[in-house]
Chain A
């Protein structure tokens, strides 16, 4: 006994599955919080050491870093990277929101 909702969902799920079929394997996005946490470590001071700490290429880290700089969370003086007050606050906020 199929209800109208069941029939609709059957069609909608099939259509969504067809639309969201993966075409190319995209690289995993870099998490901004992970980048902030890495910059907070004393051994990370520039882009090269940051990429090394995250086990990623500099090319994949750079866009995230640029966003964080434009947001005012990371202060970049020359090649040196440092968390701003806002960046440190962001790390504290994310730590407070972790449930496990």
Chain B
């Protein structure tokens, strides 16, 4: 194929720096070494986000490697004008890479907490491949319809034109008060929305587990100002719009009376996670230290209920009842183990009951412990007087 991108690269390759099979071997060696380093690094890290970045980078490197090998193989090979000639494959490869790059950039901008994660997900790969396929189709059509166009102009035109075509609209329709652009973009937009939603759903579960682990033990009032401020300071390139949106959310969460303190913490954590990512959020929470931990005060109504049965009955039965109630209300995927309260034998019986109340309320929440205390009270009232330790002595 006269004047092709392959020929262009052949001219480059004819220079002393890139002259033939030896270079292919060298590139292959470098790529294998890079792949080994990536696999070693991925096996060493426990951070899933870092692992995704490594695998994503490896995948991109592999694609570039294939393209380089195709280019170098093209050097000195007999060129034919058919589509299966090495020259054509190289040009197809360049056009596909442009499409993949545009698709990948689009996906990366949508998931700010972990930009590389969608690239190695099935929906993300599918979306990138569709973009790559569109560029390949454009290149094929250009070869047929504009054979006089020279390379590398044809390759770049194919790559860019396909992306422009699938993102253009012909006219605007007003639907339910919204302006909807209609054109070839509708195909890609619909596809992007569907894949976006599919990927979003797969991310929801691990994000929920992650945010519960990072933020579940914090007190909203303690962190609502300090944590965003610390995250903003740790990051160096946040825009005023982004920080303003978090501040607005903090204000609204503070005003909310219908959400529990823990729900507010999780919501704030998710907002920050989207903005600063997992590692920064974890670092900021760690930097805040134990002062940010939630501490629930035991309310008097619970203590009055716990006072009716003797302390020994409370200490012996309340943890088990709380555990049973917790098991009954825990979801299928709730992997948190029930609490095994710590007893301090040197404390008085009264102090042991109050300590137990603190431990249970901070682990299970007020409502569950209150319900359990009702059962303890009813059990103690139903027991014959001789069967409970009426003296209030704590059983060993």
Contacts and interface: CB of A to CB of B under 8 A. Distances in A.
Contact of B351 (A10, A72, A96, A99): A96
A21 interface: no
B396 to A, nearest CB: 21
Contacts, number: 83
Contact of B245 (A1, A33, A36, A96): A1
Contact of B252 (A10, A36, A73, A93): A10
Contact of B258 (A5, A16, A72, A94): A16
Interface in A46-100: 71-73, 85-87, 89-90, 92-94, 96-97, 99
B242 A1 contact: yes
Nearest to B298: A97
Given A32-B301, A33-B304, A89-B350, A9 B241 contact: no
Interface in B344-372: 350-351, 353-354, 357-358
Contact of B307 (A9, A20, A86): A86
Interface string B284-325: 000000000000011011011111100100000000000000
B242 A5 contact: no
Contacts of B274: 3
Given A6-B248, A99-B297, A93 B303 contact: yes
Contact of A9 (B249, B301, B357, B358): B249
Interface size of B as a range:
20 to 34
A2 interface: yes
Contact of A97 (B255, B267, B270, B354): B354
A16 B245 contact: no
A16 B298 CA distance: 27
Interface residues of A, number: 29
B303 A90 contact: yes
The secondary structure that dominates the B interface is: helix
A40 to B, nearest CB: 13
Contacts of B242: 1
Contact of B304 (A20, A73, A96, A99): A73
Which of B244, B253, B256, B304 lies at the interface centre, i.e. has the most chain A CB atoms within 10 A of its CB? Answer: B304
Nearest to B249: A6
A2 B257 CA distance: 21
A15 to B, nearest CB: 9
A5 B249 contact: yes
Nearest to A96: B354
Contact of B256 (A13, A32, A72, A85): A13
A89 B307 contact: yes
Given A9-B253, A9-B256, A16-B257, A72 B300 contact: no
Given A6-B245, A13-B256, 11 more contacts: A5-B271, A9-B253, A10-B252, A13-B252, A86-B307, A86-B308, A92-B350, A93-B304, A94-B303, A94-B304, A96-B354
Interface of A: 1-3, 5-6, 9-10, 12-13, 16, 20, 31-33, 36, 71-73, 85-87, 89-90, 92-94, 96-97, 99
